[in-house]
Amino acid sequence: MPATVPFEQIDRIVWNQHHDPFEVLGPHAIEENGKKVWAVRAYLPNADAVSVVLPEARAEYAMKSEHHPHFFECTIDTPELANYQLRVKEGEHERFIYDPYAFRSPKLTEFDQHLFSEGNHHRIYEKLGAHLTEVGGITGVYFAVWAPNARNVSVLGDFNYWDGRKHQMRKSQNGIWELFIPGLSVGTSYKYEVKNQDGHPYEKSDPYGFQQEVRPKTASIVTDLDTYTWHDSAWIDKRRHTDPLTQPISVYECHIGSWLHAATDEPAVLPNGEIEPPVQVSELNPGARFLTYRELADRLIPYVKDLGFTHIEMLPIAEHPFDGSWGYQVTGYFAPTSRYGKPEDFMYFVDQCHANGIGVLVDWVPGHFPKDGHGLAFFDGTHLYEHADSRKGEHKEWGTLVFNYGRNEVRNFLVSNALFWFDKYHIDGIRVDAVASMLYLDYCREPGEWLTNQYGGRENIEAADFLRQANHVIFSYFPGALSIAEESTSWPMVSWPTYVGGLGFNLKWNMGWMHDMLDYYHMDPWFRQFHQNNVTFSMWYNHSENFMLALSHDEVVHGKAHIIGKMPGDEWQKFANVRCLFTFMFAHPGKKTIFMGMEFGQWQEWNVWGDLEWRLLQFEPHQKLKLFFKDLNNLYRSETALYSQDFAEDGFEWIDCSDNRHSVVAFVRREKDGDEFVVTVCNFTPQPHSHYRVGVPEPGFYTELFNSDAREYGGSNMGNLGGKWTDEWWFHNSAYSIDLCLPPLGVLILKLDRAKTTAKSQEF
């Protein structure tokens, strides 16, 4: 039979050069001898014979190859042609398949494409990527990927022997390539073969893929995220109606891959009783494997709950190829890393956190991405996700690329990704990494290595606009969530709402407080009298932002020593300094974050390939420090004055901040909408003071709620026998004061006992 399509069109299919293979392949209505018939065409490399099978009509039509041995066609005289099959013979093997090019209706509507092109398709992850779909009663997988500058894009996988000729995709007007492949199911591994305009192929993981193979493999995996049954509706509803800024937030920052390992010969047991093969950690720790998400739910959650933390913050759990990046060089933005299990396993972990009253925060990395060949870099043969000019598009110090925030589709990718983790995984907040690197065009760049903005300044206006959009979208969909900026500069209004010109975060890490305090505690206590400003300076700017006080993973790596190793003095003084620091931290305005290992006094720096030094808990000082953190968290959560007005001016008042000779400060924290308050007195030297007078707001009995020097925490047990009555003695601008015993390197937290005070007054 003569070809029913021009030979040049066939050649474009054979040589994989056609932007729309549907124009050639699949069923086409044509006229033959003045009559409407169907021409069916298929390009099947490796096929020896092909025929069209009409199951309902019980008819079969042999296809012929005239122009090319693997390009088959035939004509069928029938009014309708739906859900036909192809009988494909390859050597001794024969199979029946549905023709992908018979399913012509695109899943993306014009409205979807319009929203994506303007950067406002908030749930574009429901359209792009790989989705289990039913079309015309036939189940398969719909693939869609944005690659506007590619010459051709194909789907690769085991199902087609990773041959890019077999499943060529169709390009839409805005550069999205799509194809429905019938017969595929959840668990299918795939990639995209992306060819640039010169025909050079790149094998890419799916930017919107929901799961990836365990590294070092890099293929994406078809996944259905809607099969898990959640049990946290009450938690989500409560969060929606709660202002987190008035609640206690005490965060346990954790790298789940190095919190604890299991032995490589210890199998992981799945919920159905099956045994999961162990995952090797790395060549640097060959005898250990990662705990799975479900094992972490059984071990990490009870540990954090017992210590009294309100949230777990995980270093990035999005897929990343290199363990040593700690997760901060992401290649799979929509895929929880397969190191620890499957997506539904991570859902289970989050669900169990909520069941135990613990919120979940994840580190989010929209500032840069690695150059790995299977990732976003040079995705369609051009600088698609990154800037073409390295003066804007590359962090040479990190060896990574910078997102082009001015491109709508790139901004849409990132905004929808932030929303995705709240939507599909029910997380409670994100900590946005390296915000300063996004906001400044000259960040870590020498003169001549960066470009100014359109006004000649160093500010990255496009990045700031992106952050505002991301935060606006998050809080529009998920009120009560947290968006925390790791921002180390004086950029104004980082944690202010977008409607007043802020970046829209609701919390910002207080990097200034962190540096001041670590510098202060590092010095010998005798010299602290000359550096009282380190302790007091944070309150000068405290109300400019909603601050979170964070002592994070960055402070215990790269030769900086762990927290206890930073402290001066003998071992007793080191532990006392640690207790003093963290008690002051929890009494100071601002939400709290500490990194794993600090809670029991780890000595060694954090090692991403090892475990925490759990063996230290056999020793009494470390046991007592862990108890200290448990009691400190419980106190913090029970006293509303310590958290309800972190960001209000009437929530904090200095009693005295000028006694640098003794390195002592005292202050009041007040609750919101009430008359309760607590008094905190800090002695930052090892010299105790047996009679130290402090002015207080009201007369009565002040109970000693917490003493960081208590015997049960490993201290010297100096204190005030449970509390002190006030004297009618004017001091610190107050009519009443108390005579305290200040323990060495100790912090006291006291509270007026109104019941006891009232009872005594009635005696008289």
For residue 490, give the amino acid letter: S
Catalytic entry in 345, 394, 428, 433:
433
Question: Measured between alpha carbons, how far is residue 684 from residues 524, 571, 665, 688, 710 in Å?
Answer: 10, 16, 9, 10, 16
Please report the pLDDT score of residue 32 as a whole number. Answer: 79
What pLDDT shows up at residue 298? 95
User: How many helices and strands, by DSSP H and E, does the chain display?
Assistant: 17, 39
Asked if 393 and 514 count as a contact pair (C-beta separation under 8 A), the reply is no
- The pair of structure tokens assigned to 355 is 């069941």
Residue by residue, DSSP assigns 410-424 as HHHHHHHHHHHHHHH
pLDDT at 541 over 60: yes
Which of 326, 358, 353, 356 lies closest to 339, judged by CA?
Answer: 326
Catalytic residue among 99, 178, 486, 599: 486
Query: H-helix or E-strand containing 13?
Result: helix 7-14
Spatial CA neighbour of 491 closest among 417, 437, 422, 424: 437
Q: Which of 72, 63, 177 has its CA nearest to residue 168? A: 177
List, edge to edge, every strand of the sheet that includes 723-725: 652-659, 664-670, 677-683, 746-753, 701-707, 723-725
Is 60 exceeded by the pLDDT of residue 764?
no
User: Strands 138-146 and 129-135, how do they pair?
Assistant: antiparallel
The first and second tokens of residue 14, run together, are 């054979």
- The tally of CA atoms less than 13 A away on the side-chain side of residue 391 is 9
pLDDT of the residue at 497: 97
Count other C-beta atoms under 10 Å from residue 70's C-beta: 17
- Convert 32-100 into a string of H (helix), E (strand) and C (coil): ECCEEEEEEEEECCCCCEEEEEECCCCEEEECECCCCCCEEEEEECCCCCCCCEEEEEECCEEEEEECH
User: Which pLDDT belongs to residue 236?
Assistant: 98
Q: What percent of the chain has pLDDT over 90?
A: 89
Structure-token pair, residue 312 = 């777990």
The band of 355, judged by pLDDT with boundaries at 50, 70 and 90, is very high
Indicate the average pLDDT of the chain.
94
* 3-class SS of residue 179: strand
- Domains of the chain with CATH codes: 7-99 (2.60.40.10), 110-222 (2.60.40.10), 247-509 (3.20.20.80), 648-763 (2.60.40.1180)
Residue 502 and residue 467 in contact, taking contact as beta carbons nearer than 8 Å: no
Answer whether residue 110 shows pLDDT above 60.
Answer: yes
Establish whether 213 is a catalytic residue. no
pLDDT of residue 148: 97
Q: Give me the pLDDT at residue 279, please.
A: 62
Q: How large is the C-alpha radius of gyration of the chain?
A: 32
Q: Three-class SS of residue 276?
A: strand
Specify the range with the lowest mean pLDDT, choosing from 26-30, 418-422, 492-496, 743-747: 26-30
Band of residue 275 on the pLDDT scale cut at 50, 70, 90 = low
What is the model's pLDDT at position 675? 86
> In the predicted model, is pLDDT for residue 273 greater than 70?
no
Can you read off the two tokens belonging to residue 283? 């060549």
Question: What is the predicted pLDDT for the residue at 67?
Answer: 86
Cis peptide before 216 (omega within 30 of 0): yes
* pLDDT for the residue 266: 80
- Mean pLDDT score, 557-568: 96
Strand partners, 359: 311
Confidence band of 136 (pLDDT split at 50, 70, 90): confident
Q: What pLDDT, on a 0 to 100 scale, did the predictor assign at position 269? A: 67
Return the DSSP state at 285. S
Q: Is the pLDDT of residue 1 over 60?
A: no
- Which pLDDT value is given to residue 278? 55
Provide DSSP, 216-253.
T---EE---TT------HHHHHHHHT--GGGS--EEEE
Sign of CA dihedral 562, 566, 572, 576: negative
Asked if residue 265 has pLDDT above 90, the reply is no
- What's residue 2's pLDDT? 61
Local structure of 574: helix, strand or coil: helix
Please give the pLDDT value at position 758.
82
Identify the pLDDT of residue 674: 80
Q: Residue 267's pLDDT band (boundaries 50, 70, 90)?
A: confident
State the pLDDT at residue 286: 77
Residue 600 has pLDDT above 80, yes or no: yes
Statement: residue 272 has pLDDT above 70: no
Give the pLDDT score at 274: 64
Would you say 377 and 87 are in contact if contact means Cβ atoms under 8 Å apart?
no
SS3 at position 738: strand
Distance between CA atoms of residues 136 and 673, nearest Å: 61
pLDDT at 247: 97
486 assigned to active site = yes
Question: Span 525-546, mean pLDDT?
Answer: 96
The amino acid occupying position 189 is S
> Would the pTM of this model clear 0.85, i.e. be above it?
yes
